[in-house]
C-alpha cells in the first residue's frame, strides 16, 4: 500500500492538470464566441452563457446516473457568494472583449492565477512553495511583456476602459475560484456548477433595463454555443481542483494564451506582435517549470517512502 501512494499522487496530479488544460481551452473558445457576438450586451451574454450551460450539467448527471442527487447541497450560502463574484467577473470580462483583442484580454486575465495562488495560501492554507510562486511570477512577466507596449503608447478611452474592466474581472474571478476550491471537497461538482449557472442567469436579468437586443442570424449560434461550452468548461474547471492544489494548477491556465493567439489571428485577423510572442514564450516556460518541479518532488517523496519502508522492516 505504501509503495502505491506516490503513483496514486502522480496520477491525481496529472488528472487535475489535464482537466485544467481542457477547461481553459474550452473557455478560450467560449470567449471567442462571445466576442463574435459583440453586438450583444454583456448582461444578455451572461444569460445565454448560464441558461444553456444547464443542459450540459443535467446531461452529465444523467450519464453518471446521478440526476436525482447531483445538485443537492449542504449549504446554499457559499454558492451564493461564489455566484455573485463569478457573475460580476464574467460580465466585466465579456465587456472587455468588446474593446480589446482576444489575446490581450486573455493575457490580462492571467492576473487571476497569480491572485489565486495568494488567496489559496491566505484562506485555504495551501503551501506557498518558492518554485510555484516563481513560475507564476514568470508568467506574470510574460503578461506584462504582452500588454505594456499597447498601453504605454497611450490607448483610446475605450481601450483603457477595456483594460480596467478586464483586470477587475480577473480579480473577481480569483475570488470566485477560491470559493470553488474551498467547496470542492464538500460539495458535488455538479452542484457547484449548477448553482453558479442559476445565480448568474438570475442576476443577468437585472441588466434588462440597460438594453437587451434580439439576436439575429449567427448570433444565436454564437450565444448558444458559448453557453454549451461554458457548461463543459465549468465542470472541468471545478473537477480539476479535486485532484491538485490551486497553486499547482494556476500556471496551466496560461495554455489559453496559445489558443487566444491562434483564434485571434485566424478568426479576428488580430496579428500577434513580437512582444506578444515573447510574453507567450515566458508563460509556456512557467508551465514547464512547475511540471518539472512537481515531478522532482514526486520522485523525492517516492525515495523518502522507500527509505522509511526499509527502516520499518
264, 270, 271, 273: CA torsion to nearest 10: -90
SS3 of 237-259: the string is: HHHHCCCCCHHHHHHHHHHHHHH
**Whole-number Å distance between alpha carbons of 198 and 202:** 6
What is the per-residue pLDDT for 306? Answer: 65
Name residues whose C-beta falls within 8 Å of residue 103's C-beta, 6 or more positions apart in sequence: 146, 257, 260, 261, 264, 270, 272, 276
| Cell numbers that stand for 111 in this block | 492576473
C-alpha closest to that of 291 among 240, 239, 250, 236 = 250
What is the per-residue pLDDT for 155? Answer: 64
| Cell numbers that stand for 141 in this block | 512577466
For residue 222, the enclosing domain spans: 5-312
**Whole-number Å distance between alpha carbons of 151 and 203:** 33
| pTM for this entry | 0.79
Q: Is the dihedral of CA 238, 240, 244, 246 positive or negative?
A: negative
What is the per-residue pLDDT for 294? Answer: 64
Q: From the first residue on, what is the mean pLDDT of each consecutive set of 10 residues in the chain (313 residues)?
A: 53 86 93 94 95 91 78 83 92 92 85 75 72 81 78 70 88 85 77 88 94 95 96 87 76 84 91 82 78 67 65 59
| Cell numbers that stand for 43 in this block | 448582461
| Cell numbers that stand for 188 in this block | 458535488
**Whole-number Å distance between alpha carbons of 34 and 43:** 12
What is the per-residue pLDDT for 152? Answer: 67
Cell 495551501 appears where? 126
Domain count, the chain: 1
Contact 117, 246 (CB under 8 A): yes
What is the per-residue pLDDT for 45? Answer: 96
What is the per-residue pLDDT for 227? Answer: 95
Amino acid at each position: 500500500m505504501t509503495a502505491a501512494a506516490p503513483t496514486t499522487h502522480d496520477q491525481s496530479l496529472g488528472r487535475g492538470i489535464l482537466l485544467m488544460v481542457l477547461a481553459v481551452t474550452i473557455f478560450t473558445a467560449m470567449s471567442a464566441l462571445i466576442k463574435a457576438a459583440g453586438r450583444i450586451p454583456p448582461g444578455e451574454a451572461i444569460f445565454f452563457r448560464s441558461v444553456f450551460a444547464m443542459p450540459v450539467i443535467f446531461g452529465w448527471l444523467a450519464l453518471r446516473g446521478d440526476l436525482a442527487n447531483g445538485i443537492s447541497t449542504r449549504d446554499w450560502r457559499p454558492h451564493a457568494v461564489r455566484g455573485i463574484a463569478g457573475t460580476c467577473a464574467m460580465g466585466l470580462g465579456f465587456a472587455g472583449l468588446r474593446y480589446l483583442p482576444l489575446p490581450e484580454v486573455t493575457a490580462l486575465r492571467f492576473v487571476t492565477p497569480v491572485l489565486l495562488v495568494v488567496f489559496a495560501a491566505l484562506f485555504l492554507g495551501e503551501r506557498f512553495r518558492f518554485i510555484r510562486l516563481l513560475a507564476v511570477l514568470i508568467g506574470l512577466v510574460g503578461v506584462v511583456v504582452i500588454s505594456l507596449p499597447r498601453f504605454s503608447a497611450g490607448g483610446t478611452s475605450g481601450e483603457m476602459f477595456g483594460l480596467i474592466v478586464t483586470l477587475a474581472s480577473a480579480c473577481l474571478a480569483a475570488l470566485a475560484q477560491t470559493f470553488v476550491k474551498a467547496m470542492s471537497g464538500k460539495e458535488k461538482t455538479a452542484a457547484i456548477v449548477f448553482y453558479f449557472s442559476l445565480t448568474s442567469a438570475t442576476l443577468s436579468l437585472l441588466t434588462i433595463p440597460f438594453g437587451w437586443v434580439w439576436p439575429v442570424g449567427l448570433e444565436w449560434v454564437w450565444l448558444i454555443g458559448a453557453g454549451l461550452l461554458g457548461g463543459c468548461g465549468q465542470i472541468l474547471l471545478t473537477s480539476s481542483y479535486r485532484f491538485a492544489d490551486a497553486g499547482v494548477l494556476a500556471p496551466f491556465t496560461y495554455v489559453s494564451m496559445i489558443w487566444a493567439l491562434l483564434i485571434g489571428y485566424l478568426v479576428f485577423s488580430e496579428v500577434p506582435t513580437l512582444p506578444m510572442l515573447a510574453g507567450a514564450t515566458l508563460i509556456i516556460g512557467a508551465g514547464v517549470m512547475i511540471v518539472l518541479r512537481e515531478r522532482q518532488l514526486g520522485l523525492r517523496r517516492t525515495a523518502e517512502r522507500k527509505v522509511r519502508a526499509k527502516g520499518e522492516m
